[in-house]
Copies of this chain bind each other. A is one copy, B any other.
Amino acid sequence: MGPGGEFDLIRRLIGPGIELPSGVLVGSGDDCTVLDGGVVISTDLVVEGIHFRRDWITLEEVGYRAASAALSDVAAMAAEPLGILLSMALDPAGAREEAIFLQRGADEASRIEGVQILGGDLSRSPGPLMLNLVAVGRADAPVLRSGTEAGDEVWVTGWLGASAAAVSLWERGGTPPPTLKEAFARPRPRLREARWLAERCGIHGLIDLSDGLAGDCGHLASAAGLAIVLEVEDLPVHPALEEALGSQEESVQRALSGGEDYELCFSVSPGALDDWVDSFQDSFGIPLTQVGWAMEGSGVHLESAGRLAPASGERGFDHFSGEEKV
């Protein structure tokens, strides 16, 4: 895990080097816990006022987005999804209706991926709406964060920065254009894409982009004990960003540090994707872009116009750094 208050806290809570019990292959520190037999499990909190605001998206979209984000953790292991468990803490006043809308959205996002809601829990909440999503999947050979090797190329799927740009526009009192709002409200977990790539291209290290490219590359780098250099000019900045934000610099910043793109970021041997890029783009209709490479060292570094700088956005979003998300 990379630096930052939240991650330091997790590390302090669940330190490395603990011997795992029999039946467990991977404990904390990856996108999912992995059990003997290849079952992968992740758990994700979604809190009103932290992860979303009701004046931004509907409750159906809250449920959709939460389920997609949870399933994205299964994609980040290149695993096949089996289903989700949906827990909801709701104000009793509107609980029934709210539960229906949340569940409808989560169910829709699940069914698009061929799975469904398998269980859950319900409680009253005396405060904000809170959800917890558990995603469950299975993989014969789950791909971990830690597999990157020095010299590897680092690639991402899709476009970056759209979800963070939508949040930025809402925060300024604006209204994001539909394509950016959609990226925030209805992200798609890259489940099929991850398995396609893992089966064909020999992915070494894999993560999904929830904290932002720089932050998540920090996790990849740290898990492998390596440095990652990102080529700023090569980032697949979402094409709608510059017009919507009115600034090329901010567009690049959102693509680099924005978070919640739920695209895949992964490492492969040099040249391993050469024969596959066109076929991937034809199959999935999204770009596949090399954004950097791994080398001996540590941390995330930005290369731009021949100059190297530390990635200031390396932390991604830090829940406890005092910086407000919403």
Chain A positions within 8 Å of B, measured between CB atoms, are: 6, 9-10, 12-14, 18, 20-21, 23-24, 27-28, 32-33, 35, 37, 39, 41-45, 47-51, 80, 82-83, 85, 87-89, 92, 95-96, 99-100, 103, 114-128, 130, 132, 134, 136, 138, 319-320, 322
Contact = CB atoms under 8 A, between A and B. Distances in A.
Given A23-B138, A44-B121, 15 more contacts: A10-B122, A14-B103, A14-B117, A24-B118, A33-B85, A35-B39, A41-B41, A43-B121, A45-B89, A45-B121, A47-B125, A50-B124, A50-B125, A125-B128, A127-B128
Contact of A119 (B14, B115, B121): B14
23 contacts: A9-B95, A10-B120, A10-B122, A21-B114, A21-B116, A28-B118, A33-B83, A37-B39, A41-B41, A43-B85, A45-B89, A45-B121, A50-B125, A85-B134, A92-B319, A96-B320, A121-B132, A122-B320, A125-B130, A126-B127, A127-B128, A130-B130, A134-B134
A216 to B, nearest CB: 15
A126 B128 contact: yes
A81 to B, nearest CB: 9
Nearest to A117: B14
Copies per assembly? 2
A49 B118 contact: no
A320 B82 contact: no
Contacts of A51: 123
A92 B14 contact: no
Contacts of A96: 9, 12, 320
Contacts of A119: 14, 27-28, 32-33, 41-43
B124 A35 contact: no
Contact of A43 (B35, B120, B320): B120
A6 B39 contact: no
A300 to B, nearest CB: 21
A82 B35 contact: yes
Contact of A92 (B118, B132, B322): B322
A131 to B, nearest CB: 9
Contacts of A39: 35, 37, 39
Given A28-B118, A118-B27, A130-B130, A47 B99 contact: no
A103 to B, nearest CB: 5
A48 B128 CA distance: 12
A13 to B, nearest CB: 5
A83 to B, nearest CB: 6
Contacts of A138: 23, 35
A204 to B, nearest CB: 22
A18 B232 CA distance: 48
Contacts of A21: 82-83, 114-116
Nearest to A30: B119
A12 B97 CA distance: 11
A43 B121 CA distance: 6
